[in-house]
Structure 1
Amino acid sequence: MNSPPFSEPPPASKLSPPAKQVPFSEQQVRDDLVNYARSLFQRGLSSGGAGNISVKLPDGSFLVTPTNSCLGELDSQTLSKLDAEGNHISGDKPSKEVPMHLAMYRARSTCGAVVHLHSPYLTALSCLTNIDHTNCLPPITPYYVMRIGRLPLLSYMKPGDPAIATALADTARDHNAVLLANHGPVVSGSTLKNLKIRHGSIF
């Protein structure tokens, strides 16, 4: 009798064990955020007290960098913690840009982290007047296409203006990143790790 056209399954003893679930650690998220912020500062993508970062936690609350804080000198224990509605729970006073971060999370259900910077080159680009507001940075590399896509430019609004959140709510649904005129970029990611990869294509 001919052998069957398929092989016998390996014995259970040789099967790979199921992947272990890594327990959630808020402290690890805090440390990762601080390390990411420091790397941005060291690369000259943030200076002084400019820029802010947030990361969503599993329960819907999120951590955000405090107001007027230097991204190169953050303390994981004093990061601002807010509930899903943006109410301050603990830590230092949060960035005035919290409404902008909330808008990104609400517009994009898969969003788990947001960074807003005043990075020199993109901020310079945001000050130009003769660019396409629907796609102000045409793609050059395939990675930019995959990770960013189109980069819309929103009209100027004063930093901290609630109108920024309203404008983002409409635009962020279809875009991973947005450029604020005369201000700087806002980029989202599904996780902090994903955000690091995505921002590398634009900053």
Structure 2
Amino acid sequence: MQAEVKKLVDVCRRLYERGLIAGSEGNVSLRLDDGRLLTTPSGRNKGWLEPEDISCLDMAGRLVSGPKPSSEIRLHIHIYNLRSDVRAVVHTHPPYVLAVTLAGYDLRRPLLAEGALFFADLEKAPFAVPGSDEVPAVVEPFIRRSKAIILERHGLVTLGADLEEAFNLTDMLEHLARTHWLAYALNPGVLPLGIEELDRLRRFYPCLK
């Protein structure tokens, strides 16, 4: 379990260094082979965590060892219960993702091939009070069909088969949002990929919807 704890701490540090979380924001969890969960503690800066700061829980949310877990752990457990393929959940507050969605912009608009390939299934859940039982409820309709869900006026949740995938989805979506922001700042009339370009992508990548 020590290796998994180290991976979780390393991912938290990278999220902090990339500016995807600040202060005590965000939470990350990892499902172990035995069904237990490793997760970040409540009220702590995730960029400064050490292995002894990580909490271990059972799937009922009961603390096995470590400090008090994040109040969002109910969301993580709900996701794991609905997605047997998901082993890691990352919840962050990426500024460009939040800024463009606050402004009413739809990041599913395919300006880039990478956006169409990785985020065609991006979803946006309605507002819920952070840390409350409302959060799992508003996210539930999207969990089975998306690995990236924006939480209205709150943050972003990404799901992965491992910590690397969940981290990469967060990192890539923030990069995509920043690129969209810069493109529209330079040229508000920039156009998305057309039908012909999307058809070519679909022929090369049959998984693309």
1:55-111: per-residue Cα shift (whole Å, max 9, x none)? 000011111100111111011112111101211111010000011111221222100
Alignment of 1:162-201 (within 5 A): 162-201=133-172
> Is 102-111 or 49-58 further displaced after alignment?
102-111
CA distance in 2, matches of 1:180, 1:85: 24
Counterpart of 2:206? none
Do 2:40 and 2:55's aligned partners in 1 also have CA atoms closer than 8 Å? yes
TM-score by length of 1: 0.79
**Could you say which structure has the larger radius of gyration?**
1
Alignment of 1:51-66 (within 5 A): 51-66=26-41
Counterpart of 2:74? 99
1:23-72: per-residue Cα shift (whole Å, max 9, x none)? xxx10110011111111111211110001100000011111100111111
CA distance in 1, matches of 2:150, 2:117: 18
* Aligned pair partner of 1:147 in 118, 125, 142: 118
Q: Which residue identity does 1:191 align to in structure 2?
A: D
CA distance in 1, matches of 2:119, 2:62: 30
> In angstroms, what is the RMSD of aligned CA positions?
1.6
List alignment gaps of at least 5 residues for structure 1. 1-25
**Relative to 1, partners in 2 of residues 1:75 and 1:174: Cα closer, same or farther, differing over 3 Å?**
same
* Matched pairs, number: 174
CA distance in 2, matches of 1:56, 1:144: 28
List alignment gaps of at least 5 residues for structure 2. 175-209
Do 1:149 and 1:175's aligned partners in 2 also have CA atoms closer than 8 Å? no
* Aligned pair partner of 2:84 in 103, 109, 117: 109
CA distance in 2, matches of 1:118, 1:197: 15
TM-score by length of 2: 0.77
* Aligned pair partner of 1:138 in 89, 109, 113: 109
SS in 2 for 1:72: helix
Report the structure, 1 or 2, having the larger helix content: 2
Counterpart of 1:50? 25
**Relative to 1, partners in 2 of residues 1:92 and 1:166: Cα closer, same or farther, differing over 3 Å?**
same
**Relative to 1, partners in 2 of residues 1:87 and 1:120: Cα closer, same or farther, differing over 3 Å?**
same
Residue 59 of structure 2 is aligned to residue 84 of structure 1: yes
